[in-house]
């Protein structure tokens, strides 16, 4: 098992390096020379300065000298900066915790994304719990009552559910719950002008988060219900189920103990993978509801051409995706011995 | 029953096997023939060859083998149905799937044939046609008014009419949703038969009753009437707000964008309204000795009693096109003291009727407003009127002509004879004869699905946007399928290190988080000066490049299963090239799986394209797609007030993706022998 884990981790690391280099290379295609802009501004302000000198200075300060590979590893934190006098400088990259800075006040990216990150994780955990709480019973029910009228209705419902784009669902729900019924606020993180504290503030926050949460949960119902149903059907057709029934085990025990445990293997991996994938999926929701999360920060940065924030968050998304892959692989390995043998 | 089906599938494989051997001989013979011909002929026949092959696959997939078989084999063939033929039969047994297929086919016809019938000007916008609800009443003159027309006035999406007895009528889209006002609810001062004058602005109506009361209603955000604190507004004169005027002394009442003017017979004027839009409003308000006032969108102008045309201290109109003397460069120089009888103004241009029966156009001509119709000898215009972008005029012989913008047919009609008066709405033309009967109407009846925030017809944009959305989706699917087929086939067939390498590449691509990555690529493209078409092509390819991994894995799995079968061994034994076996022998046998996956990923591509466009990182405005049409609906004002702007694109997009998914799902169901066994 240990060998399998190490192998997977090494492999994922390799993929991360390839992918991050790819992203870095694409990012470098943006025609944007920070050093040249800085140097030009200085020379314009003070005629005594030489452009070439200042340019070299800023290039070295920002770590923009050298070829693409050097810059890439410098950005990772594995290759040193060139000091201003030309000697070898310090390491200062991602690994050292330097994610770059935003054009907005020059704030460091790590600082900028701290609060939104909390919000996003908070919302995603809630959405996951809600979605699982609905989809698992529903999926089991459909699998057991397979082919019945109710199953067909749910099947059609789930197709409609996963065919609808998130933004259409969001618009419909805003119209229904916020405009027509007036139950929830249209967007925002908290009731404007409030000065709640403690538990009251938490309640207010939950109240404002309700609508995005409902939309997010609703959008994931379709796909997940189908998945649970499919794996449950698979499990119900196993020989052990037939044996259990033949032995006269109660039907509820057959379903919830024998079949459900077998169905759990793919579902566990699905849940982990899904939880991580909604990070990138919540870009849409956060923007529609003006929810201060990672997706909103990413979107705003893209809009304002705030390139370093974009790069850092892009890496974050890739990191999350790969971590998801790794966790899924490992979970499979733990649950299903056949896999770690064959690899 | 189901066991028999399974047997059939096995038998059909044997037949397929035989066919392939035959095919192979045939193609080899063709190849020797090809070498003799020159290059171009070989390219041509190569393409024909590919076409033939694809056709043969499809034919074989649906109709079964068509080769002559020996007597012994014929016995076996009788019961054989190809898997795809079975699939098709099974598919058409499911009602929901058939409905979805019909919906999808209709939608394809709608978006690919529709644009031929519904032309669209991509860059068209019109502030006066913004946010109009779906309706078809914009040219619907009420029946009671039809034979008793005194005047018709219209500036944007609604029109007001006045009968000779003084009864007022209103038609068109009369609701001002942001202000929460319905213009059709007349104030209580307006009673039956007591209106002397009435005129309509962009979002307000002003009427003078026979008692001399000036009544105004509608939106009032920019000083359209009453007391106001709006910045830049010219306030309505106090004597009109609280007092009355003598209606018999009023010579003209006219409304503009958000402005109003009353001209008295003694030449004094009352002018008020939004001075921020109409820059010279305050100047015109100070004038005396005025005969007529007219408003274009951003300018006020007056004709004085001595026949002088003026826009105040600044000349707003310079270029001149005359019906008599051709063009000139300066309006004031051209007029040079000549008497101006009448003036009418469209959006950015004006028409002047001079003494000597001359018609002069001035201003900015964006819609052929300067193409004055050539009148027959002895015929000249006696009365003219202007809509937003078109002009109409009645001649001394009673013919009514139109020119200018004619997208809705408001100007490009054959001359109507027997006319005595003509009124122009924003996009409409109403021709009236001597006994005040309406004899003809031309122009815009209304919008089937309303207009968006820039005044563009939503129905037209849905038709054209659908074409764009479907094209982007289809191209992306084709790109991704081609990549997936090549990688899947190679990897599944060769196995070993090729498989290892290709699958690792697939895994890398599969772990790219799609939406953020596509958004970032879009940012990179934005930094290069590429035109919109190139951008769209890049987006298509990008979508394809990022979405092939699932299909490639699936094909690999299928090919792995197929390559163990006997016909592959037979092909190998005959010494056929490996790549040929992979693509020509095995691929046709997995084509059904590929088709199903392509259907499902088509829906996926539609969704991702529209999501990207919705966020503003896909196809950009003004080029419509179903996704970016919803971009404007991203705020509660639109969601609440202008439901048609988000409802119709949503319905089309959702219908398309739902029906594609239903079809794909059913196909997958009927293709899976396990699921048919259970039913």
Indicate the pTM of the whole model. 0.83
> Is A168–B653 a contact, with Cβ atoms under 8 angstroms apart?
yes
Token couple for A32: 């944007």
State the residue for tokens 């998801």: A324
Q: How far apart are CA B489 and CA B594, in angstroms?
A: 11
Both tokens assigned to B46: 């190569």
Chain A CB contacts of B517 under 8 Å are 23, 314, 317
Nearest-CA neighbor of B492 among B541, B570, B565? Answer: B565
Residues of A in contact with B625 (CB under 8 A): none
Range name among A172-186, A266-280, B169-183, B429-443 with the lowest pLDDT average:
A266-280
| Residue B102 pLDDT exceeds 90 | yes
pLDDT at A191: 72
Report chain A's mean pLDDT, rounded to a whole number.
83
Query: CA of A247 to nearest chain B CA: how many angstroms apart?
Result: 23
What residues have CB less than 8 Å from B69, skipping those under 6 apart? Answer: B15, B18, B77
B511, B515, B634 member nearest A288 (Cβ): B634
Residue B78 has pLDDT above 80, yes or no: no
The C-alpha angle B200, B204, B210, rounded to 5 degrees, equals 65
Q: Which residues contact A141 (CB under 8 A, 6 or more apart)?
A: A150, A154
**CB-nearest partner of A167 from B513, B614, B679:** B614
Nearest to A26 among B521, B630, B654 (CB): B521
Q: How many A×B Cβ pairs under 8 Å? A: 126
Using an 8 Å Cβ cutoff, are B17 and B566 in contact? yes
pLDDT surpasses 70 at A337: no
In whole angstroms, give the CA distance from residue A61 to residue A55: 10
Chain A residues lying within 8 Å of B657, measured CB to CB: 163-165
Tally of CA atoms within 13 A in the half-sphere of B582 that contains its CB: 17
Among A77, A76, A40, residue whose Cα is nearest residue A315:
A76
Nearest Cβ partner of B636 from A156, A168, A186?
A: A186
Please give the share of chain B, as a percent, with pLDDT higher than 70.
Answer: 90
- CB-based contact A281 B512, cutoff 8 Å: no
Closest-CA distance, A307 to chain B, in angstroms, reads: 9
Contacts of A159 in chain B (CB under 8 A): 658, 661-662, 665
What is the mean predicted confidence (pLDDT) over A123-143?
88
Residues of chain B with C-beta less than 8 angstroms from the C-beta of A30: 523-524, 527
Tens-digit pLDDT profile for residues B286-321 = 888 899 999 988 889 999 988 888 888 888 887 888
Q: Using the beta-carbon criterion (under 8 Å), do A318 and B513 form an inter-chain contact?
A: yes
The whole-angstrom separation of Cα B365 and Cα B323 is 15
Specify the range with the lowest mean pLDDT, choosing from A163-172, A184-193, B376-385, B519-528.
A184-193
What pLDDT was estimated at residue B29?
55
| A162 min Cα distance to partner chain B (Å) | 8
Question: Do A171 and B519 lie within an 8 Å CB cutoff?
Answer: no
Question: Are residues A130 and A219 in contact, defined by beta-carbon separation less than 8 angstroms?
Answer: no
Of B112, B177, B150, B91, nearest to B471 (Cα)? Answer: B112
Q: Is the pLDDT of residue A68 over 60?
A: yes
Flag if A165 and B603 touch (Cβ within 8 Å). no
Query: Chain B closest CA to A91's CA: distance in Å?
Result: 27
Of residues B511, B607, B611, nearest to A321 (C-beta)? B511
Tokens of B168: 């007022």
Residue A339: predicted pLDDT:
61
Alpha-carbon span A122 to A329, nearest angstrom:
25
According to DSSP, residue A82 is labeled B
Question: Do B611 and A186 count as a contact with CB atoms less than 8 A apart?
Answer: no
Distance CA(B590)–CA(B485), nearest Å, equals 10
User: What's the mean pLDDT when you consider all of chain B?
Assistant: 84
Distances (CA, A) of B103 to A331, B96, B106, B111, B657: 43, 10, 5, 12, 11
**In B, which residues are within 8 Å of A281 by CB distance?**
515
| CB half-sphere exposure, B109, CA atoms < 13 A | 6
Tell me the range of A197-201, B214-218, B561-565 where mean pLDDT is highest: B214-218
CB–CB of B615 and A23 under 8 A?
no
A238: chain B residues, CB-CB within 8 Å: none
Predicted pLDDT at B12 = 44
Q: Report, as an integer, the average pLDDT of B112-133.
A: 87
**Closest partner CB to B658 (pick from A160, A186, A298):** A160
CB distance B639–A287 less than 8 Å?
no
The verdict on a CB contact (< 8 Å) between A298 and B639 is no
Q: Do B511 and A318 touch (CB under 8 A)?
A: yes
pLDDT tens for each residue of B141-163? 898 888 889 999 988 889 999 99
How many angstroms separate the CA of residue A108 from the nearest CA in chain B?
Answer: 20
For B229-278, what is each residue's pLDDT tens digit?
888 888 888 888 888 888 889 999 999 888 999 999 998 999 999 888 88
- Give residue B7's pLDDT: 44
CA-based nearest distance A211→chain B, Å? 14
Interchain pair B524, A29: CB under 8 A: yes
Cβ-based contacts of B617 with chain A (< 8 Å)? 302
């Amino acid at each position: 098992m240990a060998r399998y884990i190490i192998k997977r981790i090494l492999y994922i690391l390799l993929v991360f390096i390839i992918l991050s280099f790819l992203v870095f290379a694409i990012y470098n295609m943006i025609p944007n020379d920070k050093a040249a802009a800085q140097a030009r501004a200085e020379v314009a302000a003070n005629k005594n300065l030489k452009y070439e000198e200042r340019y070299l200075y800023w290039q070295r300060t920002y770590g923009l000298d050298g070829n693409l590979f050097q810059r890439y590893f410098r950005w990772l934190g594995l290759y040193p900066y060139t000091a201003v006098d030309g000697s070898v400088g310090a390491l200062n990259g991602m690994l050292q915790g330097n994610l770059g800075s935003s054009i907005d006040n020059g704030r460091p990216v790590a600082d900028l994304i701290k609060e939104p990150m909390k919000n996003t994780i908070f919302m995603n955990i809630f959405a996951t719990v809600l979605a699982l709480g609905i989809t698992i019973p529903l999926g089991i029910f459909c699998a057991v009552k397979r082919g019945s009228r109710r199953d067909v209705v749910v099947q059609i419902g789930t197709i409609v559910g996963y065919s609808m784009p998130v933004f259409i669902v969001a618009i419909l729900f805003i119209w229904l719950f916020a405009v027509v019924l007036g139950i929830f606020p249209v967007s925002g993180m908290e009731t404007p002008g409030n000065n709640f504290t403690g538990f009251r503030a938490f309640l207010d926050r939950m109240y404002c988060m309700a609508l995005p949460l409902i939309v997010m949960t609703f959008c994931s119902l379709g796909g997940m219900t189908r998945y649970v149903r499919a794996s449950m059907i698979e499990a119900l057709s196993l020989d052990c189920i037939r044996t259990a029934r033949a032995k006269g085990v109660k039907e509820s025990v057959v379903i919830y103990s024998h079949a459900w445990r077998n169905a759990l293997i793919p579902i566990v991996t699905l849940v982990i993978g899904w939880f991580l994938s909604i990070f990138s999926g919540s870009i849409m929701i956060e923007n529609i509801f003006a929810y201060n999360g990672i997706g909103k920060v990413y979107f705003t940065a893209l809009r304002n051409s705030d390139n370093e924030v974009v790069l850092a968050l892009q890496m974050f998304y890739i990191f999350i995706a790969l971590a998801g892959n790794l966790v899924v692989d490992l979970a499979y390995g733990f649950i299903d011995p056949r896999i770690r043998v064959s690899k | 029953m189901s066991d028999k089906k399974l047997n059939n599938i096995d038998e059909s494989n044997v037949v397929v096997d035989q066919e392939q051997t035959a095919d192979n001989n045939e193609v080899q013979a063709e190849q020797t023939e090809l070498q003799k011909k020159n290059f171009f002929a070989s390219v041509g026949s190569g393409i024909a060859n590919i076409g033939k092959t694809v056709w043969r696959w499809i034919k074989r997939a649906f109709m079964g083998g068509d080769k002559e078989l020996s007597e012994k084999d014929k016995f076996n063939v009788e019961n054989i149905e190809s898997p795809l033929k079975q699939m098709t039969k099974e598919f058409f047994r499911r009602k929901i799937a058939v409905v979805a297929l019909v919906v999808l086919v209709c939608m394809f016809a709608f978006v690919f044939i529709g644009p031929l019938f519904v032309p669209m000007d991509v860059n068209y916008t019109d502030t006066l046609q913004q946010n109009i609800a779906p309706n078809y009443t914009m040219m619907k003159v009420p029946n009671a008014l039809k034979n008793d027309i005194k005047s018709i006035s219209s500036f944007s999406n609604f029109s007001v009419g006045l009968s000779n007895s003084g009864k007022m009528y209103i038609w068109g889209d009369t609701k001002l949703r942001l202000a929460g006002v319905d213009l059709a609810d007349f104030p209580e001062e307006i009673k039956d038969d007591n209106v002397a004058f009435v005129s309509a602005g962009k979002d307000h109506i002003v009427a003078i009753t026979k008692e001399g009361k000036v009544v105004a209603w509608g939106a009032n955000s920019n000083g359209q009437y009453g007391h106001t604190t709006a910045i830049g507004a010219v306030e309505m004169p106090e004597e009109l707000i609280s007092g009355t005027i003598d209606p018999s002394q009023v010579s003209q009442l006219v409304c503009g964008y958000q402005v109003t003017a009353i001209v008295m017979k003694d030449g004094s004027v009352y002018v008020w309204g939004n001075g921020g839009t109409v820059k010279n409003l305050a100047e015109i308000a100070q004038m005396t000795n005025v005969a007529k006032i007219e408003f274009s969108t951003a300018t006020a102008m007056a004709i004085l009693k001595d026949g002088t045309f003026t826009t105040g201290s600044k000349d707003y109109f310079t270029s001149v096109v005359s019906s008599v003397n051709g063009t000139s460069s300066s309006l004031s120089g051209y007029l040079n003291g000549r008497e101006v009888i009448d003036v009418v103004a469209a959006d950015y241009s004006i028409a002047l009727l001079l003494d000597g029966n001359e018609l002069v156009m001035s201003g900015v001509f964006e819609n052929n407003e300067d193409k004055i119709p050539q009148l027959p000898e002895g015929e000249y215009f006696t009365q003219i009127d202007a809509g937003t972008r078109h002009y109409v005029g009645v001649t001394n012989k009673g013919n009514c002509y139109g020119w200018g913008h004619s997208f809705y047919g408001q100007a490009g009609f054959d001359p109507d004879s027997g006319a005595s008066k003509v009124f122009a709405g924003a996009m409409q033309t109403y021709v009236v004869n001597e006994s005040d009967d309406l004899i003809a109407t031309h122009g815009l009846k209304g919008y089937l699905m309303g207009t968006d925030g820039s005044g563009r017809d939503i129905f037209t944009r849905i038709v054209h946007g659908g074409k764009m959305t479907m094209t982007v989706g289809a191209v992306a699917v084709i790109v991704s399928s081609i990549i997936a087929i090549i990688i899947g086939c190679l990897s599944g067939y060769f196995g070993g290190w090729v498989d290892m390498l290709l699958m690792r590449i697939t895994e890398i691509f599969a772990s790219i988080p799609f939406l953020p990555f596509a958004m970032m690529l879009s940012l990179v493209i934005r930094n290069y000066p590429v035109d919109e078409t190139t951008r769209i092509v890049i987006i298509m390819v990008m979508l394809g490049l990022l979405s092939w991994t699932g299909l490639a894995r699936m094909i690999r799995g299928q090919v792995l299963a197929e390559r163990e079968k006997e016909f592959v061994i037979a092909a190998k034994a005959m010494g056929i090239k490996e790549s040929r076996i992979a693509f020509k022998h095995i691929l046709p046998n997995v084509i059904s799986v590929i088709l199903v996956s392509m259907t499902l990923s088509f829906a996926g591509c539609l969704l991702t394209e529209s999501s990207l466009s919705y966020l503003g990182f896909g196809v950009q405005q003004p080029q419509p797609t179903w996704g970016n049409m919803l971009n404007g609906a991203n705020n509660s004002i639109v969601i609440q007030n202008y439901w048609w702007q988000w409802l119709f694109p949503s319905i089309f997009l959702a219908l398309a993706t739902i029906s594609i998914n239903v079809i794909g799902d059913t196909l997958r169901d009927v293709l899976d022998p396990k699921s048919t066994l259970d039913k």
